[in-house]
Amino acid sequence: MRSRLVVLFAAASAAFAWVDGSNAQLRVPEPVDQIVVDAVLADLADATRRLADNDIAGADRRFDTALASPGFEVLASDQRYESLVRAGIAALEVDAARKAHALLVRACELEEAEGIAWHLRLRAAYSLKDYVDSARSITVIARRWPAGLDQIREQAIFDVSHRIDLSGADSDARITMLSALFDANWTNEGQEPNELWFDYVRYLLAKSDMSHATEVAARMDSPEFVLSFRIDKRFDALVRARKGGFDIGRTMQRQRERLQQLRERHPDRLSHIVAELVMDVRDGHAERALEMADRVIARVTTEGATAYADTADHYVWILDSRAQALQRLGRWDEAVTQLRKAARRPENGGMNVSQTLNLARLLARLERNDEVEDAMEELGVMSPYGRMQLALNRLIVADAQGNTAAVTTQLDAMRAERSESMGGYQVALVLAGRIDAAAALLIERLRGEDWRRDALSEVQTYTDVAQTPRDKAHMVHLRQILARKDVQEALEAVGRTERVPFANPFF
């Protein structure tokens, strides 16, 4: 955080011309004495110097004094703007995000407000988990300075959208953000954010804007989301309006060509290689995925972290994808070994969570029950979604051991946070053989506008892959659930099933 804010302060300093009040031309209202204004200007100049000298705490205190003075409000608008932005930077640096956010909101309300103020406001809002204001900030940046979207972490944009959707907060702010992002031709490092465009298409169809919905859908290049259009009756009019445009095979080929182009255009980026590995595993090309992953591993082994520009962020996912390829081939012991190596690597600069949970899940699916808890002994800080996956790992072990009390405990834990992963909770009920409860949940999800896409996707007929003992048990119970009359009626009311030419991404 510090290095980025220093850069932002440098940019702000270059853009802001004044550093003291020696040549300020002010019209001071009668009630405010000039000596008060002079004191404010002196405090602001001192705070600015302290900020430049990295005396952040001193700068923060000086800004507090200056901004609390009645003399601050009579300064010229541009001086107030510059001071509020700098004060916001100082507050962010001392981890006073709430104070920083209030200062930056004030700055953004002034007509001088520029992109730097909105980016800082976004940073403060996001750190406060104020996802609605984060969406507003992203919207303004997308509308006024679309090139500035590259300065925002892609995952933060997805997170903002997901959290607003999950909380049911201000849906208008979310849709306005999606509209601005689409109009700005925003992509996730060159890849279409299909998840976001899908929700935008849903909104446009609800508004009977078929023309715009078709335009947005045309940007989507994910076979999984094209499948969602085909199997969900809400989109029948859209599919009919674009005859031949929702062919899964053609979409798979289009996605592959796009990713190959991105990989060739950016040979220093692992993110595109990871995406291609995931696609290869999904589409039945696990051997090719292994070959590509091995080339990357060999290069990183030889050249170190500098082999790719984003090694720190994505190399662990190369290892994870390699393990997924091994699983698709039924090479279970090798997959476990690979995930053990991946789980020892840091994730986002902290202790690993994703690969640690993935390792434990594989061990549980293989019924290597004595190894599961040891595998999860050193987990990093988990999100609510992570806690759901932890509980599911423990449930799989408890069910295999016939420990009904432990199964119930884990189901209770997952039920409490089921909105974080309705699909995960569904898997837990199915695995535990809670047939009636699993059927009821599936029907609830099929009837729910926001849950239907995943529910329909989970019940399609996917390409066969190698299965562990627990996978096979899961499929036995799932078939029992799908054969029920009440489930069939609920499914028929909203969607349909197809045979899909790729592997099941849900289990």
d(CA 471, CA 453): 22
Task: Please choose, from the candidates 149, 159, 152, the residue with its C-alpha nearest in 3D space to the C-alpha of residue 183.
Answer: 149
The encoded tokens of residue 475 equal: 């499929």
pLDDT of residue 19: 42
* Contact by Cβ (8 Å): 432, 391: no
pLDDT of residue 9: 54
Task: Please choose, from the candidates 52, 44, 102, the residue with its C-alpha nearest in 3D space to the C-alpha of residue 69.
Answer: 44
Long-range contacts of 342-348 (CB under 8 A, 24+ apart): 342/316, 343/375, 345/315, 345/316, 345/319, 346/316, 347/316, 347/380, 348/313
Helix locations, 16-76, DSSP H: 34-52, 56-68
d(CA 110, CA 45): 21
d(CA 159, CA 407): 31
Q: What is the largest CA-CA distance in the chain?
A: 83
Q: Using the structure block, give the residue that is written with the tokens 């892609």.
A: 154
Q: How many CB atoms lie within 10 A of CB 351?
A: 13
Tell me phi and psi for residue 347, to 5 degrees: -125, 125
Give the list of residues 6+ apart from residue 209 with CB closer than 8 angstroms, or none.
none
* Contact by Cβ (8 Å): 345, 312: no
pLDDT of residue 5: 53
* Contact by Cβ (8 Å): 134, 122: yes
Classify 30 as helix, strand or coil: coil
pLDDT of residue 242: 81
Number of H helices and E strands in the chain, helices first, is 27, 2
Burial class from Cβ neighbours inside 10 Å (0-12, 13-18, 19+) for residue 217 reads buried
* CA-to-CA dists, residue 240 to 175, 229, 259, 437, 478, angstroms: 25, 11, 28, 36, 31
> Torsion-angle region of residue 331: left (phi > 0), alpha (psi -120 to 50) or beta?
beta
pLDDT of residue 168: 75
Tell me phi and psi for residue 304, to 5 degrees: 80, -165
Residues of the chain with pLDDT under 70: 1-30, 507
Topology of domain 2-128, per CATH?
Answer: 1.25.40
DSSP per-residue codes, 312-366: HHHHHHHHHHHHHHHHHTT-HHHHHHHHHHHHTS-BTTBS--HHHHHHHHHHHHT
| DSSP letter assigned to residue 484 | S
pLDDT of residue 8: 53
Q: In whole angstroms, what separates CA 304 from the centre of its chain?
A: 28
d(CA 198, CA 59): 46
* Domains in the chain: boundaries: 2-128
